[in-house]
Structure 1
Amino acid sequence: MAGTVAVLLCSNLIGPAKACVVTLPVIGIVTFGAGNLFFPISYIFGDVMTEVYGYARARRAIWAGFGAMIFATFMSAIVVGMPASPTSDYNKLLQPALETVFGNTWRIVVASMAAYWVGDFVNSFVMAKMKIWSEGRHLWMRTIGSTICGQGIDSLLFYPIAFYGLLDNATLASLMVFNVLFKIGVEVAFTPATYWVVNALKRAEGVDTYDRDISFSPFSLKDEGDTKSLK
């Protein structure tokens, strides 16, 4: 949970609006938001939590991340809005920088929160359901399949809410497609590490949770999965 919240906050506070440009073989020049470099790691944490501890634990982590984002947004607004001391020369440099970095528009804030909340719940839901369907086999298929669904919804919500009308439709569509493919690529690249962490946690905790007969409502915090003891 701590890792999920940390990655989420850093991805939304450090460089989300910075546009980076790289030249890739065959594809050519690609533009993407710097915050997207590390955001997919939060989905990996979510996959691990859902696989080992179940949907109910992942649901609590999602709400913790959502609450942290609300607090960070509130704190940013207060700090940026507080009158700066006119006697401090440093404030003449700091205040404009704070406004640039933390003074996100309401569209960016709403888009980030909506995309994260829906995308993470979709990711955990698909992960939990696929575990039951596959009877716990083929972890790679579940992590990648849930990421395709969760990150797809995330990008479909974030970019139109944040940038529709500001970017032309072709650019908006290309950004969405690239970011979905990039995030899926990160999931694929980290699959061996995910296997190692999941297996290590299952051995250490002695549990393997299957989410049978529970409520998948995002607003329930009580239901537990069918925990299989490995001890």
Structure 2
Amino acid sequence: MINQFLKDKPSKLFLGFAAFFVANALIAECIGGKIFSLEKVFGLHPANFTIFGQSGLSFNLTCGVLLWPLEFVITDIVNEFFGPKAVRRISYTTIILIAYAYLMFFLAIKTPPADFWLGSYVSYGIPNMQNAFNGIFGQGMWIILGSLVAFGFSQLVDVYVFHKIKKRTGNKMIWLRSTGSTLVSQLVDSYIVLIIAFKLGNNWSWGEVLAIGMMNYIYKFIVAIILTPVIVYVEKWIEHYVGHNVAHKMKLQAMGEEQDTFENIPTAG
């Protein structure tokens, strides 16, 4: 049975997308503690926008936003070929594994450090490795909660909007349903994490939440547009990989919520 699964191209595709989806999300969470200046990446001065009464706003973003757009690309591809049940399955799996990772981070932080290790990187400008380790992996509980809730809810929104558009467009214009669903879900994601992590967790004003959320969304909006050709390319590649007939049957089946993800898809080894 396992040999048949590993030879079946649709099955291999789903396994590959699911593995990348989980790994990408975990990496994004791990590197999300670093804040970078988008303007400096391009050698520009800070933007200094004023939005919702908040002045001096620039594109200071977490490194996690470099990877999160890829999650929505994969979400839409899986949605297109495997359906919402498959998206929910990998989304829930990812949330569980991220929560597991944070638990392991917490236990690692609480583990007593070896004396020699504490000062092992003094020559690199790090006087205390335990403090450095805590700073990297010890994100606050409000941020963790906000991140997980925002991710889970935005995934559900993405699936819903994607299929609403697909019911009107059929198998045409994947760029429209992919980009449209991403733009809506990214807006939801941007504000849920801020409301939970910083409004509830750090007593930010609504002006701060709205302004920072808008700065984050402007970046995500632009990236979603830039990545639109990637969606089209991956769709064409999958159709070439599994064959046009198999790809067509996968898309038809993906529209049926109650059908099993791989049921009636012929083997294309």
Q: Which residue of 1 aligns with 2:124?
A: none
Structure 1 residue 107 displacement after superposition: 0.2
Partners of 1:86 and 1:48 in 2: CA distance: 49
The equivalent position to 1:79 in structure 2, one of 85, 88, 108, is 108
Structure 1: unaligned runs, 5 residues or longer = 216-221
Structure 2: unaligned runs, 5 residues or longer = 1-17, 40-44, 50-56, 122-126
Report the CA distance shift for 1:227/1:156 in structure 2 as closer, same or farther (over 3 A).
Answer: farther
- Decide whether the 8 Å contact of 1:209 with 1:227 is kept in 2: no
Question: TM (normalized to structure 2)?
Answer: 0.74
Partners of 2:63 and 2:204 in 1: CA distance: 18
Q: Structure 1 residues 165-174 or 20-29, which shifts more? A: 20-29
Matching of residue 107 in structure 1 with residue 142 in structure 2: yes
Matching of residue 214 in structure 1 with residue 247 in structure 2: no
Q: Structure 1 residues 143-152 or 90-99, which shifts more? A: 90-99
Matching of residue 14 in structure 1 with residue 35 in structure 2: no
Aligned CA-pair RMSD: 2.6
Partners of 2:216 and 2:111 in 1: CA distance: 35
Query: Equivalences for 1:60-209 in 2 at 5 Å?
Result: 60-88=89-117, 89-90=119-120, 93-164=128-199, 165-205=202-242, 206-207=246-247, 208-209=250-251
SS at match of 1:32: strand
* Aligned pairs, number: 224
The amino acid that maps onto 1:3 is F
- Decide whether the 8 Å contact of 1:18 with 1:34 is kept in 2: yes
Q: Structure 1 residues 17-26 or 91-100, which shifts more? A: 17-26
Query: Equivalences for 1:28-67 in 2 at 5 Å?
Result: 29-67=58-96
SS at match of 2:59: strand
The amino acid that maps onto 1:154 is D
SS at match of 1:90: coil
What does the per-residue CA deviation read over 1:195-225, in whole Å, with 9 as the maximum and x for residues that have no partner?
A: 011111123222232444425xxxxxx7448
Structure 1 or 2, whichever has the larger Rg, is 2
What does the per-residue CA deviation read over 1:156-204, in whole Å, with 9 as the maximum and x for residues that have no partner?
A: 2100111114444333212111222221221211111210111111232
Partners of 1:228 and 1:128 in 2: CA distance: 20
Structure 1 residue 26 displacement after superposition: 9.2
